[in-house]
Structure 1
Amino acid sequence: MSKETHHTLRAIQNLAGEDLDGTSDVQIRGEFIEDGFDPDAEASRIAASIDGVVAAFMRAHTASAKREATSRRSLIPMVRPTLEKIRALIERACASEPALAASYRKGSKQSEADLETMYDDLVALGKIDPSDVYD
């Protein structure tokens, strides 16, 4: 769509909105009846259509979230390397990206669980390649 077409459509939308804003509910209902439509039936049809769109969006969003969670889970290694190897891999990742170093603190105060979680997170983020375990 060209910029000019987009601008024209925007102007039409604005005019239609102004016209709608200036029309009372009674007038709109009268126009519906005059055009041969049942306002209540149209309102029900539109509500059902909106419900369908919202439901489809929610299903798609949920499916996407499930795929995302599943893909993240599959990146986390089932068998971790030794703690010494985890420390070395984390230190190497922090050396290559200094922004990561703030969360590591040279491994001095982290528990084993902290180190394992950080390793899993860095693998999931792609900062550590799980195949590096075998180097």
Structure 2
Amino acid sequence: MECETALRRKWSALTKAGLEAVLIGELPGELPPLDVCAGTDFQKCVWSALRRIPAGQTKSYSEIAAEIGSAKATRAVGQACGANPIPVLIPCHRVLAAGGKLGGFSGGLDWKRRLLSVEGVLSQPWNGETQRKFSL
């Protein structure tokens, strides 16, 4: 029981530190391992692929579809991104629409721009007012 409590505390601390880093415009350090129970097998497959996209890089919905062996399932990949229960830890913001367009994001496009800016993908900065608005 003590070991489990210590692991939960470590997981919580890593999660909090990672989210706080993102919210102040920094790259998160080590993120905790995830065991997502909710979702279909297809969604879990997409979410696993998203976790493999490094910070500072992006992929398109069609690239993710091809990577998981469902090249024609581009829209389904988008739907799986939209169903993502923990968008920062499962980085669906790193998935772009065709032609490098932002596409959608469950947290809104301002959040997607902000996250991609923090990761160096977008050069557009975000203002301090937004930064304060979303602090923990």
Please give the TM-score of this superposition, normalised by the length of structure 1.
0.31
RCO greater where, 1 or 2, for CA within 8 Å and sep 6 or more? 2
Q: Which has a greater percent of helix?
A: 1
Tell which structure's C-alpha radius of gyration is larger. 1
Please give the TM-score of this superposition, normalised by the length of structure 2.
0.31
